[in-house]
Amino acid sequence: MSLGVRFTLWILAVMAMTGGVMVGGFLGVERGYLLTEGRRTHQTNTDHLAQVCAETLVNNDELGLMNFLKELRKSTELDEAYCVDGGGKVLAHTNLAFLGQVIDRNPAAWMSALPDPVKADRWTYQSAALRGGRPAVFARSVFRSSAVKRMVGERITNMVHRSIGLGLSVLGLALLSAWGTARTMTRPIRKLSQGVRRVGGGDWTVRVPDHGPGELGDLAREFNTMSNRLGDLDRLKDEFIHNVSHDLRNPLSAIATSAKMLRTDNLPPSSAPVLKVIESAALRLRTMVNNILDTAKMREGRLAFDKTEFSPHKLLEDLFALYTPMAEKSGKKLVLDLPADLPPLHADEEKILRIFLNLLSNAFKFTKAGDEVGLSGRAQGSWVEFRVWDTGWGISPERLPALFKPFHSTDEGPNAPPQQGTGLGLSIVKVLVEGHGGRVSVASTLGKGTSFTVLLPAAREGA
């Protein structure tokens, strides 16, 4: 999960928790307010009932009293309401059956005997209307607490529904705002992450924007300083490798040429194998140097091909002959299978030589005494297929996909030798083969051996 998503979710979670606490607190306060307001209204109605009853006694206006009782009956939570005179005689009652009856000869005692209106199942309210400074009329109203609480609950439920709708709308707006804020805040980190990936890929020219003061700004400046320094070091490394490689290539070429010339002189037969070893070793070292130089050229896009038409038959026979003394000394068997009618190639002869020199060098490195190293070729329509194979240690399947990457080691198995060389050989092979319009593939079984297949386009007639 990205930092922006986590930041957005964190903001939403905080807002949701804060909103939930606030709404919960508000609803609790609102519920208490509604109950308190309801009890105040009940008491007010009871006081009003007492006053209306008192006025009815004075003015004999029973119509006003009846209308007031009619309005009281509309209240769904009202259980009963009535008023009595000082002797307990019912003057008015929501239940007309009680009119004129004496229900309590000491109504003044009601006030001290009322139950707690909050805890009781029925909320009872008392009021008295004074005349001449003394209570003349007493009124009482009784409400069902369950009905009152149900009414309050319905109002709270409606408020919850409205709050949920409003909350979802606010959260939607908050989501958009949080996402925009998160993207703005994490943009410098994304830029830095992209820069790190590009530097990891070898691009030392990348720079990230300086975001001013603060930790991210400091980090961006340090990153740019690091990238500059790495670029300087990489240029120094390339210059050093280029100079050293050039200085080594000429002496190695001279050694290989001298050994080849000496083999043509009238020397004792015993000298020929030694000279072949010298020539082969010099050629292998020169190939390693050329691999390093070509890697630098590939990075700069300057790798060129000098293509001519030639027969690969003699080239590969001569190359195989150089490995014969090494094979005899190490107890390995060489197998060469090249038909006489192998089609010619239109290619860079020196680079074709390096392709097979790299492949044969790998085969020799990862085989032991008694193993076979072979090279075969055959025509395949408009292609020429070459195969370099061995019966050595082999390569595990999980390592095959990365085999042609630079600086990748092919050593496998508990008895395999440690990595030798630069680790550039197979990556150079892939580049050189594809530079000729061909393809290279590998098949291997751990413990049984490895086979490299190289497909190169045959020379076209008249080309």
The reply to whether 309 and 440 lie within a common domain is yes
Its domain, for residue 241, covers 228-303
Residues 128-140: what's their mean pLDDT?
79
The answer to the question of residue 185 being in a domain is no
- Greatest mean pLDDT among 26-30, 259-263, 455-459: 455-459
The answer to the question of residue 164 being in a domain is no
Confidence of residue 22 (pLDDT cuts 50, 70, 90): confident
- Whether residue 375 contacts residue 356, with contact meaning beta carbons closer than 8 Å, is answered with yes
How far is CA 287 from each of CA 204, 298, 360, 430, rounded to the nearest angstrom?
28, 16, 12, 15
Give the per-residue pLDDT at 244. Answer: 67
The reply to whether 382 and 423 lie within a common domain is yes
The answer to the question of residue 208 being in a domain is no
Domain boundary among 105, 126, 152: 152
Residue 241 belongs to a domain with what CATH number?
1.10.287
Confidence of residue 387 (pLDDT cuts 50, 70, 90): very high
The reply to whether 268 and 324 lie within a common domain is no
The reply to whether 355 and 288 lie within a common domain is no
The reply to whether 15 and 115 lie within a common domain is yes
Give the H/E segment covering residue 275: helix 271-300
Buried/exposed 295-334: b ≥16 CB within 10 Å, e otherwise: bbebeeeebeeebeebebbebbeebbebbebbbeeeebeb
- Whether residue 153 contacts residue 43, with contact meaning beta carbons closer than 8 Å, is answered with no
Domain boundary among 152, 177, 200: 152
Give the per-residue pLDDT at 94. Answer: 84
Residue 329 belongs to a domain with what CATH number?
3.30.565.10
Give the per-residue pLDDT at 420. Answer: 55
The reply to whether 62 and 86 lie within a common domain is yes
Mean pLDDT of the chain: 80
For the record, the structure tokens of 157 come out as: 């439920």
Domain boundary among 286, 303, 320: 303
Q: What is the tally of structural domains in the chain?
A: 3
Residues 106-123: what's their mean pLDDT?
62
C-alpha dihedral, 363 to 369 to 370 to 376, nearest 10° = 20
Instruction: Give the three-class secondary structure for 80.
Output: strand
The answer to the question of residue 363 being in a domain is yes
The answer to the question of residue 28 being in a domain is yes
The phi and psi torsions of 228 (rounded to 5 degrees) equal -60, -45
The reply to whether 286 and 317 lie within a common domain is no
Question: Is the model's pLDDT at 383 over the cut of 90?
Answer: yes
How deeply is 107 buried, as exposed, middle or buried, from its count of CB atoms within 10 A (0-12, 13-18, 19+)? buried
The string of pLDDT tens digits covering residues 320-377 is: 888 888 888 889 999 999 998 899 999 999 899 989 988 998 898 889 999 999 999 9
In angstroms, the first-to-last Cα distance of the chain is 58
The reply to whether 8 and 23 lie within a common domain is yes
% of the chain with per-residue pLDDT over 70? 83
Q: Which residues contact 79 (CB under 8 A, 6 or more apart)?
A: 122, 142, 143, 144
The reply to whether 61 and 33 lie within a common domain is yes
The answer to the question of residue 310 being in a domain is yes
Count of C-beta atoms within a 10 Å radius of residue 54: 22
Sheet containing strand 333-337, edge to edge, reads 333-337, 372-380, 383-390, 449-457, 439-445
The whole-angstrom separation of Cα 99 and Cα 89 is 8
Residue 126 belongs to a domain with what CATH number?
3.30.450
The alpha carbon of residue 91 and the mean position of all alpha carbons in its chain are separated, in whole angstroms, by 81
The reply to whether 420 and 391 lie within a common domain is yes
Q: How big is the chain by its Cα radius of gyration, in Å?
A: 51
Global pTM? 0.49
Give the per-residue pLDDT at 183. Answer: 72
For the record, the structure tokens of 145 come out as: 């607490």
Selected residue with higher pLDDT from 388 and 425: 388
202: region left, alpha or beta (phi > 0 left; psi from -120 to 50 alpha):
left
The reply to whether 72 and 110 lie within a common domain is yes
374: region left, alpha or beta (phi > 0 left; psi from -120 to 50 alpha):
beta
The reply to whether 310 and 452 lie within a common domain is yes
Give the per-residue pLDDT at 359. Answer: 92
Confidence of residue 93 (pLDDT cuts 50, 70, 90): confident
Give the H/E segment covering residue 93: strand 90-93
Give the per-residue pLDDT at 215. Answer: 78
- Whether residue 141 contacts residue 72, with contact meaning beta carbons closer than 8 Å, is answered with yes
Ranges of beta strands (E only) in 283-392 are 308-310, 333-337, 345-347, 372-380, 383-390
Question: Is the model's pLDDT at 250 over the cut of 80?
Answer: no
Query: Using alpha carbons only, what angle is made at residue 114 by residues 112 and 120, rounded to the nearest 5 degrees?
Result: 150
How far is CA 260 from each of CA 263, 280, 284, 288, 356, rounded to the nearest angstrom?
5, 10, 14, 19, 19
The answer to the question of residue 451 being in a domain is yes
Confidence of residue 111 (pLDDT cuts 50, 70, 90): low
The answer to the question of residue 74 being in a domain is yes
Task: Point out the least confidently predicted range of 120-124, 284-288, 386-390, 445-449.
Answer: 284-288
Residues 308-312: what's their mean pLDDT?
92
For the record, the structure tokens of 327 come out as: 């094979």
